[in-house]
Chain A
Amino acid sequence: MIHSLFLINNAGDLFLEKHWKSVISRSVCDYFFEAREKAVEPDNVPPVIRTPHHYLINIYREKIFFVSVIQTEVPPLFVIEFLHRVAETFQDYFGECSETTIKDNVVIVYELLEEMLDNGFPLATESNILKELIRPPTILRSMVNTITGSSNVGETLPTGQLSNIPWRRAGVKYTNNEAYFDVVEEIDAILDKSGTTVFAEIQGVIDACVKLSGMPDLTLSFMNPRLLDDVSFHPCVRYKRWESERVISFIPPDGNFQLMSYHISAQNLVAIPIYVKQNISFFETGSSGRLDIAVGPKQTMGKTVECLVVTVHMPKVVLSANLSATQGTYNYDPVTKILLWDIGKLNPQKLPNLKGSLSLQSGAPKPEENPSLNIDLKIQQLAISGLKVNRLDMYGEKYKPFKGVKYVTKAGKFQVRT
């Protein structure tokens, strides 16, 4: 299925290659570079590129292109999902998935890729299984290894491979048993010029960090499970119990994992935590324009909005911005044409405001369209949908675990049209 993988950074350097079948010359990537150049923005590179003899399926993550080479029919999503899984595994192992960490750990990366695919078909992708085969690097372990010469590679088959709960390794032991759940909701919204909601929905995930000894069997229940519309689960979740009782029953993998993701559709009214008043105009004459943006709280459920950032992709003709912000700092990058206003915490008493003038390239026609504003924000201790975890029960083990739930709301693709 997947013939080869090339990792390419944003500058176009091919810094890692791996082949699962016969070697395919890296010159096949020329087709990718061509498409990359045409696309201008890295996001615009088509995910599937056809070349005379191969197909290139790629994803762009953490400033790295994961370019896979395919020779025969395969569902493209299969490959894309797998490439994401590779990136997630790197993240899991090295803390971040960047060019530097991959280069620093190139041997482990190679060993991982070797285990994850066999002849181009996924072999072991579960983090718990991989970690038994290839231990993640830690400072202590690498020191011990250099002294004793012992290796990072497991010598026996991971227990998960043969059990019917492959996601959990056997013989887990902790002195402190703890289970944490983060309910993270992102608001995807489009607001129009006047501030009315054109469209809004919530994408939520529940991330878990479970460090429990033995084989705990957990049940997580919600106060208001009916809110959840379209759910997808980690394979450990028992689907039948969700269907019949609306509880999440599962034997967790060890460590960090995403328990479930859900979707709360546009049909339910989605609370929009802030409002934005904006006025951006370009003058016909004088090669200049004005910008005035104000942000204020709307439906915050009594919580504070933090990490508020407004990003504006300015038209090409905007050369510079001369603005003043009552709060936070702003920065205009004349190369990427991105205006970034980092507001920070939103103070309801003193509403932040950014205004001033924009200077345009002289002689160029004024831009047709006003740029839209992209909003970033964070609200701690709030799930904007109102979702609440009721309780977490554990069966199968006798100790008392420490449990915790955290809620966070963020802006997802939150855009204000102007």
Chain B
Amino acid sequence: MSLSYSCNGHICENLLVMDSFVRFLKEREQEQLIKILSFLFYIFRHDDLKEMLDSNKDSLKLEAMKRIVAMIARGKNASDLFPAVVKNVACKNIEVKKLVYVYLVRYAEEQQDLALLSISTFQRGLKDPNQLIRASALRVLSSIRVTIIVPIMMLAIKEAASDMSPYVRKTAAHAIPKLHSLDPEQKDQLIEVIEKLLADKTTLVAGSVVMAFEEVCPDRIDLIHKNYRKLCNLLIDVEEWGQVVIINMLTRYARTQFLNPNESLLEESSEKAFYASDDEEDEDKKAEVTTLEKRKPYVMDPDHRLLLRNTKPLLQSRNAAVVMAVAQLYFHLAPKAEVGIIAKALGMFEPYLKSFYIRSTDPTQIKILKLEVLTNLANEANISTILREFQTYIKSMDKDFVAASIQAIGRCATNIGEVRDTCLNGLVQLLSNRDELVVAESVVVIKKLLQMQPEQHSDIIKHMAKLIDNIQVPMARASILWLIGEYCEHVPKIAPDVLRKMAKSFTNEEDIVKLQIINLAAKLYLTNSKQTKLLTQYVLNLAKYDQNYDIRDRARFIRQLIVPTDKSGALNKYAKKLFLALKPAPVLESPFKDRDHFQLGSLSHLLNAKAAGYQELPDWPESAPDPSVRNVEVKDSVCAERTVLTGPEGAGVLLLQTTRGSSNILFHVLLHHSHSEQSSGAEDRKRGRKAVKNQKSASESESESESSESEDESEEESEEESESDTDVRKNKTIAPSGSIKMYELLHRITGEGLAVEYCFSRQPFSPDPNMVAVQIQFTNNTNSETKNLHIEDPRLQSGMRIREFAEIGLQPSESVTVVMGIDFCDSTQAANFQLCTHTRKFFVSIQPPVGELMTPTFLTENNFKKEQGERTSAHSRFNTHSCPTDCSFSSKHLSFFSSYVVVTPPPPPSAPVYRFAGKTVSSGCLVLVTVTTKEGGGAQLTVNCEKMVIGTMLVKDILQALSQ
């Protein structure tokens, strides 16, 4: 109530002001007065709303915002409220806030300076602990199209792209095209963000980032390689809209990367033709041989198959756009034999003929499309059914549809010879139809049909000649005249009479009819000049003075051509040939043809014109590009990569072979060494990776796969980024690699759907350097959320300590990795504890192999020898074993060990010595490993360590590993 009073008060006040104005301007003219009045109204019109927005009651603000939004929705201008609204951007009430956002997005572009006032609020919002607020701050920030904030947007997008919440990352993906359209110069930076988000593993992000990819850099197919398989596998769980975008993009991708599955069939047939040809010519044979060599039998790339397989279930989607996307994918990518599966979903092809029968209540465009389908489905077997159906259509009240039906009959008649006469007869019957449009359309179609075999149908031509008296539609009249002129020899008696009638009505005819009258006259003059000479000249004279210059031109041209005079040249002789040449029969074409080159289901395909932003569907490549570009290192092989970074060939082989053992000591030692030696530089790393690649073919390392140079780089980036990231992210990036062994902590079945695996990540455990980092991966295989996962009640040997991970929750099918630290006190005793969820408790234990209790250390050769000497002499245990002969060391290994491992022995080439140094994690006591190779191929292993147990176990484990 108080509200309306105050409003009234305001209006009174306004009126008073106006009143004084009126008095002041008494003498002025009325017109000006009105102008001023309307201006005043304009100034004060939203005063009540402003007052409400300025109040400190949320309910009043909300009411005002609701009214403003209603104005915007109706398309009314509310821009003058901007200052009053923008003040409320930081309002606590979330609904007010949201409506302010709506307002801002609508008007910020018009009021850029004022809009800047709101920016700091959004920047604050970007840091909010609530993910919804972070996301909506980014949404609005990226939606207010104000160029000056481009750098802020860029920063916000980059940050959001590595947000913990996938929802915020999705919002970041959405913001990319917004920024791109605001400032295309940001493209390169945005592509980096896209690349990063493409690697995201959540279904929520996938659709949005592919959408961004399609808008910003659709030609950067190379960004898809590494994510191709992941996208295929995620597809079924992505939301519907994302599915459409991803499928369309992958269709294009596949056309650039795989071979045409239908090509091989074509080639086979051409090959046969080759064989059939005479085999005498040697040259030909040679050519044949070479082509045969080139042609390998077609085998579908498994990735191509993966795409076809993973999209197929989506044919069952409720969303027609998804079904269409899959259908077009099969149409463009599948082997011919498999395209059939889409037919069912789309209801195409013959068995479904009747589904395309037309009801009188169908919308016109549906009728036309159904007619098109029916016409295309027509064949010898079903044509009689279809024609009977068409007969019904001709009687329709919708005349456009009738015309289209007649055209369709014409097309059936041209395509299927058997029914041509039937169709023609049917059409001739239509000539007596009362509707002129029907008759006219029939004439046009009959004309085309007759052209195919005119001799047999002179009676029809006669019939049509009679029609000229009644039909008024110009196109039909013109068609009849053309027909009579063209086949005047079949109707020699009627033709001159028709010309006579036409000469009479010439002046009243439409232009196209006049042209055909001239045409008819000329043809008759050439074939039957005795009867028609005068008529022709009369017609030409009329045409000479016609208003239309085309007709005057035509008359002059024809007179010169057909009437022999002294001046007329050589052409005159050929006049008859010119006019009465045999003309090819026209092809009755579908109005829908010629659009095949567009991607099916696209807007461009529908319009048969290239729409802005349409991406051409490329042709299949001649030969398949390297399929290995799609190979992905299994999960994050960061750790594994680093271990082998350094070794040249050979050494790596040995390394991998030895490390596959249970203890993984050498591996471990090396890993940490290179880790601490990060300064060795990217160059070295790359070299190292190449080495890995090469040896891969030799060794059967199952987990890793080849990678190209560019990916290396991208990976490095992601490594660096992840390192600067929060803890959670970090844990993800050091997910267990294939070469680090995973141990089972809890089986899926005993865990009632909760599966837990762990591995020793071999990274320093940052909260406590004396602990071994254990990386634990939880997978929730149930359909319900698992909450409050945490550790309880650890039972440890004296001195052992445990550092638990923070409590976590798991969504259904989610996998989460955490890291915990355990101080094993340099023993291989198990750590026992309970793993608790919100409902259950499980007893589990972790027992470390001895190799996992160590971390690498760096010693110079002299130090190594010194330490070794001390230990040997003092309190270490010395052990000598000879290695199995099969693991022979060669001098090549030398460089590997000497440059990167612990020490640089100046070796006599015949007997190299390898030295490794490490220390135990818990107490930090040195462990020294020496391998002395002997010329006979054997080797001696020495382990020096203060802790006897560790030393013994290490020797045992290394030998076991080497002997495998």
Query: Which residues does A use to contact B, with CB under 8 Å?
Result: 1, 14-19, 21-23, 26, 39, 41, 43-44, 46-48, 50, 55, 70-78, 80-82, 106-107, 109-111, 114, 118-119, 121-123, 125-126, 146, 149, 151-157, 161-166, 170, 190, 198-199, 201, 215, 217, 229-235, 239-240, 242-243, 251, 258, 260-261, 263, 265-267, 313, 315-316, 365, 367-369, 371-372, 374, 396, 413, 415, 417
| Min CB gap A253→B, angstroms | 12
Chain A contacts for B607, CB-based, 8 A: 48, 50, 55
Pick from B75, B345, B389: contact of A230, CB below 8 A.
B345
Q: Is the CB of A153 within 8 A of B73?
A: no
Central interface residue in A15, A114, A155, A315, by most chain B CB within 10 Å: A114
Chain A contacts for B239, CB-based, 8 A: 122, 125-126, 166, 235
Q: Is the CB of B395 within 8 A of A369?
A: yes
B162-182 to A contact mask, C-beta < 8 Å, 1/0: 000111000100110110010
Q: Is the CB of A121 within 8 A of B73?
A: no
Chain A contacts for B208, CB-based, 8 A: 121
Which A residue's beta carbon lies closest to that of B328? A75
Chain B contacts for A106, CB-based, 8 A: 69-70, 73-74
12 A–B contacts from the bound complex (CB under 8 Å): A39-B364, A55-B607, A70-B603, A73-B604, A76-B601, A78-B321, A82-B241, A149-B58, A151-B95, A239-B313, A369-B396, A413-B359
Chain B contacts for A126, CB-based, 8 A: 239
Contact A125 B364, CB 8 Å, known A50-B607, A73-B602: no
Q: Is the CB of B316 within 8 A of A78?
A: no
| Interface residue? B10 (CB, 8 A) | no
Q: Is the CB of B361 within 8 A of A374?
A: yes
Chain B contacts for A151, CB-based, 8 A: 62, 93-96
Chain A contacts for B57, CB-based, 8 A: 149
Which A residue's beta carbon lies closest to that of B393? A369
Pick from B174, B244, B344: contact of A78, CB below 8 A.
B244
Q: Is the CB of A118 within 8 A of B171?
A: yes
Q: Is the CB of A199 within 8 A of B357?
A: yes
Chain A contacts for B364, CB-based, 8 A: 39, 44
Chain A contacts for B75, CB-based, 8 A: 14, 17, 26
| Interface residue? B291 (CB, 8 A) | no
The distance in angstroms between the C-alpha atoms of A233 and B316, with both chains bound, is 6
| Interface residue? B606 (CB, 8 A) | yes
Contact A107 B783, CB 8 Å, known A81-B321, A231-B316, A372-B360: no
B135-150 to A contact mask, C-beta < 8 Å, 1/0: 1000100110100000
Central interface residue in A73, A149, A415, by most chain B CB within 10 Å: A73
Q: Is the CB of B174 within 8 A of A119?
A: yes
A-facing residues in B798-816 (Cβ within 8 Å): 811-814
The distance in angstroms between the C-alpha atoms of A231 and B318, with both chains bound, is 9
**A-B pairs with CB below 8 Å: how many?**
237
The distance in angstroms between the C-alpha atoms of A76 and B73, with both chains bound, is 25
Chain B contacts for A50, CB-based, 8 A: 607, 609
Contact A372 B359, CB 8 Å, known A44-B364, A107-B69: yes
The distance in angstroms between the C-alpha atoms of A136 and B17, with both chains bound, is 45
The distance in angstroms between the C-alpha atoms of A165 and B785, with both chains bound, is 11
Q: Is the CB of B325 within 8 A of A75?
A: yes
| Interface residue? B317 (CB, 8 A) | yes
| Interface residue? B397 (CB, 8 A) | yes
The distance in angstroms between the C-alpha atoms of A233 and B208, with both chains bound, is 23
Chain B contacts for A77, CB-based, 8 A: 320-321, 324, 601
Chain B contacts for A396, CB-based, 8 A: 783-784
Chain B contacts for A374, CB-based, 8 A: 361
Chain A contacts for B102, CB-based, 8 A: 110-111, 114
Chain A contacts for B175, CB-based, 8 A: 119
Q: Classify the interface of chain B: helix, strand, loop or mixed.
A: helix
Q: Is the CB of A156 within 8 A of B132?
A: yes
**What 8 A-B pairs come out closest when comparing CB atoms?**
A72-B613, A151-B95, A369-B395, A199-B354, A122-B241, A149-B59, A73-B614, A157-B132
Chain A contacts for B932, CB-based, 8 A: none
Q: Is the CB of A17 within 8 A of B73?
A: yes
The distance in angstroms between the C-alpha atoms of A153 and B66, with both chains bound, is 13
| Min CB gap A59→B, angstroms | 12
| Min CB gap B857→A, angstroms | 44
| Min CB gap A54→B, angstroms | 10
| Interface residue? B153 (CB, 8 A) | no
Chain B contacts for A258, CB-based, 8 A: 318
Q: Is the CB of A107 within 8 A of B66?
A: yes
Chain B contacts for A125, CB-based, 8 A: 239-241
| Min CB gap B598→A, angstroms | 10
New contact pairs (10) apart from A149-B59, A265-B355, CB-CB < 8 Å: A50-B609, A75-B248, A75-B602, A80-B320, A106-B74, A111-B99, A114-B101, A151-B95, A251-B783, A260-B318
Q: Is the CB of B603 within 8 A of A81?
A: no
Which A residue's beta carbon lies closest to that of B65? A107
| Min CB gap A108→B, angstroms | 10
The distance in angstroms between the C-alpha atoms of A70 and B389, with both chains bound, is 38
| Interface residue? B6 (CB, 8 A) | no
Which B residue's beta carbon lies closest to that of A152? B95
The distance in angstroms between the C-alpha atoms of A363 and B96, with both chains bound, is 67
The distance in angstroms between the C-alpha atoms of A343 and B308, with both chains bound, is 52
Q: Is the CB of A22 within 8 A of B70?
A: no
Which B residue's beta carbon lies closest to that of A72? B613
| Min CB gap A57→B, angstroms | 8
Contact A46 B365, CB 8 Å, known A22-B145, A119-B143: yes
Pick from B74, B317, B606: contact of A235, CB below 8 A.
B317
Chain A contacts for B812, CB-based, 8 A: 163-165
| Interface residue? B203 (CB, 8 A) | yes
The distance in angstroms between the C-alpha atoms of A152 and B354, with both chains bound, is 50
| Interface residue? B323 (CB, 8 A) | yes
Q: Is the CB of B361 within 8 A of A153?
A: no
The distance in angstroms between the C-alpha atoms of A19 and B248, with both chains bound, is 26
| Interface residue? B741 (CB, 8 A) | no
The distance in angstroms between the C-alpha atoms of A23 and B79, with both chains bound, is 13
Pick from A17, A18, A22, A251: contact of B109, CB below 8 A.
A22
Which A residue's beta carbon lies closest to that of B171? A118
Q: Is the CB of A153 within 8 A of B95?
A: yes
| Interface residue? B615 (CB, 8 A) | yes
| Min CB gap A85→B, angstroms | 9
Which A residue's beta carbon lies closest to that of B248? A75
Chain A contacts for B95, CB-based, 8 A: 151-153
Chain A contacts for B204, CB-based, 8 A: 161-162
| Interface residue? B565 (CB, 8 A) | no
Which B residue's beta carbon lies closest to that of A114? B102
Chain B contacts for A71, CB-based, 8 A: 612-613
Contact A121 B241, CB 8 Å, known A153-B95, A230-B345, A315-B397: yes
Contact A415 B361, CB 8 Å, known A75-B603, A161-B167: yes
The distance in angstroms between the C-alpha atoms of A357 and B359, with both chains bound, is 26
B263-296 to A contact mask, C-beta < 8 Å, 1/0: 0000000000000000000000000000000000
Pick from A44, A313, A316: contact of B360, CB below 8 A.
A313
Q: Is the CB of A15 within 8 A of B74?
A: yes
Central interface residue in A14, A26, A81, A230, by most chain B CB within 10 Å: A81
Pick from A119, A154, A162: contact of B178, CB below 8 A.
A119
Chain A contacts for B244, CB-based, 8 A: 75, 78
Which B residue's beta carbon lies closest to that of A215? B784
Q: Is the CB of B611 within 8 A of A72?
A: yes
| Min CB gap B712→A, angstroms | 32
| Min CB gap B896→A, angstroms | 46
A-facing residues in B319-337 (Cβ within 8 Å): 319-321, 323-325
The distance in angstroms between the C-alpha atoms of A81 and B325, with both chains bound, is 13
Q: Is the CB of A239 within 8 A of B316?
A: yes
A-facing residues in B118-148 (Cβ within 8 Å): 130-132, 135, 139, 142-143, 145
| Min CB gap B908→A, angstroms | 63
The distance in angstroms between the C-alpha atoms of A230 and B347, with both chains bound, is 9
Q: Is the CB of B320 within 8 A of A217?
A: no
The distance in angstroms between the C-alpha atoms of A67 and B387, with both chains bound, is 38
Q: Is the CB of A201 within 8 A of B355?
A: yes
